[in-house]
Amino acid sequence: MNNMGFTKELPIAIGCDHAGYEYKEQLKAMLLADGWQVADKGTYSTDSTDYPDYAHPVAEMVESGAATAGILVCGSGNGVCMTANKHQGIRAALCWNEELASLARQHNNANVLCVPSRFVPYRTAEQMAHVFLTTAFEGGRHEKRVNKICM
């Protein structure tokens, strides 16, 4: 299992539904400014849409190794998280503060961050993304537990 952080050699796959569109656009700009590549899987407006249509492509990119990590945004964060976690190689984490984003990486080797845009200020979403992408998995006692997630 990879104990390293994420690499800028591959893109961050990012997606959202209509409720997450504005955060996705701002996060995308922040990521690009920080030197990350970004693969935007939509949606591309605030028109009402279905979150699985965007969560699945993000999860598929991460699962296949075409993206180093994923970020998904919807109103509650739950819909995109549930959808992404249907993929065998995905460990999507619903986070609402920096500490949870850090622990999701350190203890769970999460590879997709799910953001609840209606429940966290944008600045918190930005801080969570930064922490998530720069925190490495600790391995050790956590590795055997993470290995038990996929059956």
| Residues 39 and 14: beta-carbon distance below 8 Å | yes
Smallest CA-to-CA distance from 80 within 47, 41, 108 is with 41
Residue 145 neighbours by CB distance under 10 Å: 11
Residue in 18, 56, 107, 130 annotated catalytic: 107
Q: Which residues pair with 123 in a beta bridge?
A: none
CA–CA separation, 76 and 150 (whole Å): 25
Question: 150: which 2 tokens?
Answer: 């996929």
Task: Decide: helix, strand or coil at residue 81.
Answer: helix
Question: 91: which 2 tokens?
Answer: 């460990």
Which residue matches tokens 């965007």? 54
Residue in 74, 81, 95, 114 annotated catalytic: 74
| Residues 114 and 62: beta-carbon distance below 8 Å | no
Does 130 participate in catalysis according to the annotation? no
Does 87 participate in catalysis according to the annotation? no
Catalytic residue IDs:
74, 107
